[in-house]
Chain A
């Protein structure tokens, strides 16, 4: 599987896990456009951190990254960050290091 596909899978598998914690009306839609960071996100800060850690653990298992994703998220300046933006950010930071 290509890295972008693995990253997408890590995101969606993690969203599935977080959705188990949410009531039906707040469940996150698995789409590249879904906002997960920012005011339009339905996640509170704890669940957002939980989601990022889940994604990070999955990326580490897939050996896509060994770094702390939580630290990287902190430096994103955009107000509303979508699944796609975050996935691109991870993908680009990997390419940058490569």
Chain B
């Protein structure tokens, strides 16, 4: 993947220049370069790989067509009495095959499902009948969904979401007749926001943690004033029901790997008692990865929470009903996403669902067990406090590393780790599944994934080593380790693995070229103390493979084939 701005192609049979303007000028979206297909050339572009449009190497394509372009049958809908649904299906299958063909050139393709403005429907009662327009449109969308559902990197998205969330009309007949723009500006704005967010998520920029206030945020009322049994939560109460639905949505996010933490100005015991004892609480104490419940400044508390979780502010979303607290946190930590929170609790669920920053193209085992892993980490930390020394503590953890080659079962997690690890990352190579598979298929390239476990539990797949054999040396392309296992001698163990592989491949040395980013200085620091020799100060580290690399005694290593 290109390390610069993400290059997005918009391929549409309608005028999408306004959409492109939104992509380029929405605040914070400066990292997307947009190219729109020339008007009236959609099919030529899709069908012709030599078209000049493809001279740009796009990272992502948004394919947005009108159903009439794809289906000649549908385009004649208003002129004929009957038509053949089989023809409709065949036309969609053909269109899907065109999409699959451009998949070879573009790693990520987003396709919008088909919608029509209401004025194109001419019968209300018979729309869902066998030859009704809605029936035909559903057939087309269903058929397209089935054709694309198993294609990696191809996403069919539903514009109805923005139709509901648009602040104005979705379609404008005037815009259509005058400029051939099929959707309204406000619809395009919502679409641009959503796609930007989704693209960010696809490339590892999704938010990982929600920091929640308690009073009037996850329940109604101030628990310190009214007591936990008088909070508005559930029951025969419209507001209470809204809070329950909001908690259910939060729980669903937690179950998909998003961490929930609490930052609340309260007496800790009073607040925790409410969570433990209120019968309508959906969120239980074990659903929270951490909390800071006290009367200190929230931004200070949040800084500490993020430090404990080893996460940056850019990973966090802060939800608080108080505009004062939101402003304080936003000013102190500008990278945190602080959404404008509605005043009415019945709007909370909609506001949470409207945040498109948690989107994922897949959910890994690590995502599902993230909160559990954090809780294990808390046990480890308490053990560390009482240990005689760091070495004793490390030994007592009984750490095991399992090394495995890239496979279909770990591909998603490996790609996820490559795209989101910042600190312990030698070259910060961002990559898609297809690009990684292509890289691994080359003869001299090898990639290994490292799973880590200790007596408290599984850390999951947390390390990646990618190497290239180049003549008589091994070049490290990827040296990636999740921050969750940093400082446990896994770093050294992984370098030991590479040195072992170097000997196996009859190579004389191992070379690691550090590529600096804003965030990977810890990786440079580690290599400087690793025993590898740095050639001058250019970040090129070398190990002579004749020497044994000192493997840490506290970590057991097992190769799986």
- Is B179 a contact partner of A54 (Cβ separation < 8 A)? no
For residue A64, CB closer than 8 A to chain B, the reply is no
- For A57, give its contact among B25, B174, B179 (CB under 8 Å): B174
For residue A22, CB closer than 8 A to chain B, the reply is yes
For residue A75, CB closer than 8 A to chain B, the reply is no
Question: Chain A residues with Cβ under 8 A from B179's Cβ?
Answer: 46, 49-50, 53
What 1/0 mask marks residues of chain B from 152 to 180 whose CB sits below 8 Å from any chain A CB? 00000000000000000000101100110
For residue B458, CB closer than 8 A to chain A, the reply is no
- Is B25 a contact partner of A70 (Cβ separation < 8 A)? no
- Is B178 a contact partner of A21 (Cβ separation < 8 A)? no
Question: Chain B residues with Cβ under 8 A from A17's Cβ?
Answer: 185
For residue A20, CB closer than 8 A to chain B, the reply is yes
Q: How far is the CB of A88 from chain B (nearest CB, A)?
A: 23
- Is A56 a contact partner of B21 (Cβ separation < 8 A)? no
Question: Chain B residues with Cβ under 8 A from A22's Cβ?
Answer: 21, 25
- Is A23 a contact partner of B25 (Cβ separation < 8 A)? yes
Q: How large is the interface on A (under 10, 10 to 19, 20 to 34, 35 or more residues)?
A: 10 to 19
Closest A-chain residue to B180, C-beta based?
A46
Q: How far is the CB of A1 from chain B (nearest CB, A)?
A: 20
- For B18, give its contact among A23, A50, A68 (CB under 8 Å): A50
Question: Chain A residues with Cβ under 8 A from B22's Cβ?
Answer: 20-21
A53–B72 CA distance with the chains assembled, in angstroms: 31
For residue B15, CB closer than 8 A to chain A, the reply is yes
A50–B22 CA distance with the chains assembled, in angstroms: 13
For residue B26, CB closer than 8 A to chain A, the reply is yes
Closest A-chain residue to B186, C-beta based?
A17
- Is B18 a contact partner of A21 (Cβ separation < 8 A)? yes
- Is A54 a contact partner of B178 (Cβ separation < 8 A)? no
A83–B423 CA distance with the chains assembled, in angstroms: 53
Q: How far is the CB of A56 from chain B (nearest CB, A)?
A: 7
- Is A56 a contact partner of B174 (Cβ separation < 8 A)? yes
A75–B172 CA distance with the chains assembled, in angstroms: 23
Q: How far is the CB of B26 from chain A (nearest CB, A)?
A: 7
CB within 8 Å of B: which A52-68 residues = 53-54, 56-57, 68
A54–B175 CA distance with the chains assembled, in angstroms: 9
For residue B24, CB closer than 8 A to chain A, the reply is yes
- Is A46 a contact partner of B15 (Cβ separation < 8 A)? yes
CB within 8 Å of B: which A24-62 residues = 46-47, 49-50, 53-54, 56-57
Most buried by A among B15, B21, B24: B21
Q: How large is the interface on B (under 10, 10 to 19, 20 to 34, 35 or more residues)?
A: 10 to 19
Q: How far is the CB of A13 from chain B (nearest CB, A)?
A: 11
What 1/0 mask marks residues of chain B from 480 to 522 whose CB sits below 8 Å from any chain A CB? 0000000000000000000000000000000000000000000
- Is A54 a contact partner of B15 (Cβ separation < 8 A)? no
Closest A-chain residue to B24, C-beta based?
A23
- Is B178 a contact partner of A53 (Cβ separation < 8 A)? yes
CB within 8 Å of A: which B3-61 residues = 15, 17-18, 21-22, 24-26
- For B172, give its contact among A47, A53, A68 (CB under 8 Å): A53
- For A53, give its contact among B17, B21, B25, B174 (CB under 8 Å): B174
A46–B179 CA distance with the chains assembled, in angstroms: 7
Question: Chain B residues with Cβ under 8 A from A56's Cβ?
Answer: 174
- Is A21 a contact partner of B21 (Cβ separation < 8 A)? yes
What 1/0 mask marks residues of chain B from 190 to 214 whose CB sits below 8 Å from any chain A CB? 0000000000000000000000000
Question: Chain B residues with Cβ under 8 A from A23's Cβ?
Answer: 24-25
- Is B178 a contact partner of A49 (Cβ separation < 8 A)? yes
Question: Chain B residues with Cβ under 8 A from A68's Cβ?
Answer: 174
A45–B559 CA distance with the chains assembled, in angstroms: 64
- Is B15 a contact partner of A20 (Cβ separation < 8 A)? no
A57–B178 CA distance with the chains assembled, in angstroms: 13
- Is A70 a contact partner of B172 (Cβ separation < 8 A)? no
Closest B-chain residue to A24, C-beta based?
B25
What 1/0 mask marks residues of chain B from 354 to 395 whose CB sits below 8 Å from any chain A CB? 000000000000000000000000000000000000000000
A54–B26 CA distance with the chains assembled, in angstroms: 19
A68–B172 CA distance with the chains assembled, in angstroms: 14
CB within 8 Å of B: which A3-20 residues = 17, 20
Query: Given A20-B25, A21-B21, A21-B22, are A53 and B175 also a contact pair (CB < 8 Å)?
Result: yes
For residue B254, CB closer than 8 A to chain A, the reply is no
For residue B251, CB closer than 8 A to chain A, the reply is no
Question: Chain A residues with Cβ under 8 A from B326's Cβ?
Answer: none
A21–B18 CA distance with the chains assembled, in angstroms: 7
- Is A70 a contact partner of B178 (Cβ separation < 8 A)? yes
Question: Chain B residues with Cβ under 8 A from A50's Cβ?
Answer: 18, 175, 179, 181, 185
A57–B174 CA distance with the chains assembled, in angstroms: 9
A59–B209 CA distance with the chains assembled, in angstroms: 45
Q: Which are the 9 A-B pairs with shortest beta-carbon distances?
A: A21-B21, A53-B174, A46-B17, A49-B179, A49-B178, A70-B178, A23-B25, A53-B175, A21-B25
Q: Interface residues, chain B, CB within 8 Å of chain A?
A: 15, 17-18, 21-22, 24-26, 172, 174-175, 178-179, 181, 185, 189
12 additional A-B pairs beyond A22-B21, A46-B15, A53-B174, beta carbons within 8 Å, are: A20-B22, A21-B18, A21-B25, A46-B17, A46-B179, A47-B18, A49-B178, A50-B175, A50-B181, A53-B179, A70-B174, A70-B178
Question: What would be 21 A-B contacts, judged by CB atoms less than 8 Å apart?
Answer: A20-B25, A20-B189, A21-B18, A21-B21, A22-B21, A23-B25, A46-B15, A46-B18, A46-B179, A47-B18, A47-B21, A50-B175, A50-B179, A50-B181, A50-B185, A53-B174, A53-B175, A53-B178, A56-B174, A57-B172, A68-B174
